[in-house]
Structure 1
């Protein structure tokens, strides 16, 4: 059974630190297991909301503060989603795991279509 990180280790992990090898199974489950996408997005997007809310303290109409927040937050969402695969591969490599795990689910789903293509075109 793989160990689970303590609160301090988990904070370090979220900040980018590497966990000990005894927690490899936990890291694999965290990065590519069920709910990995949700955890990744929450860890990046939620902590920045209070920081962005500082724009609401600026003098002026409420819509201006909200617009400034949106100008920063919407591109952040876009780039966070776009770089998810790169982030997962990086974290897998950093913890000594196979980076191919990052897209194993997509490859498994595409396998029947790939086999059908190869049969149709004489490669299977």
Structure 2
């Protein structure tokens, strides 16, 4: 699988579109193993230096820490919640069918069948 150059990778990380010969890499990057961790790291790491600016405020560091958490926790929550939307958008940007994203959890079908077998009579 061909990988992007450093310049292409930086462009991709800020929202740019890669050439069509890198679609396999994009598909793996967005839907492959550990894609969620890569997405969260790419989304949250640039936020950390900005949050460190709270340490410049006068007062105890625990107050600065709480101010950082007041921003960081909702950002993690919404970034996690919008992960599938972001992946579908990025796949569409690169001309890949967004339906290739698995929408169900691996054991969801089995769990549903077990539930229906146990509680069908109710």
TM-score, normalised via structure 1 length: 0.83
For residues 1-124 of structure 1, the aligned pairs below 5 Å read 2-103=1-102, 106=104, 109-110=107-108
Aligned equivalents of 1:114, 1:81: Cα separation in 2: 24
Q: How far apart are 1:115 and its partner, in Å?
A: 8.1
Return the TM-score normalized by structure 2. Answer: 0.84
Distance 1:13 1:63 in 2: 36
Segments of 4+ moved more than 4 angstroms? 107-117
CA distance in 1 between partners of 2:100 and 2:33 (Å):
13
Give the structure with the larger helix fraction.
1
Gaps of 5+ in 2: 117-122
| Residue 46 of structure 1: how far off its partner (Å) | 1.6
1-structure distance, mates of 2:95, 2:106: 22
The Cα RMSD (Å) is: 2.0
Equivalent pairs, count: 116
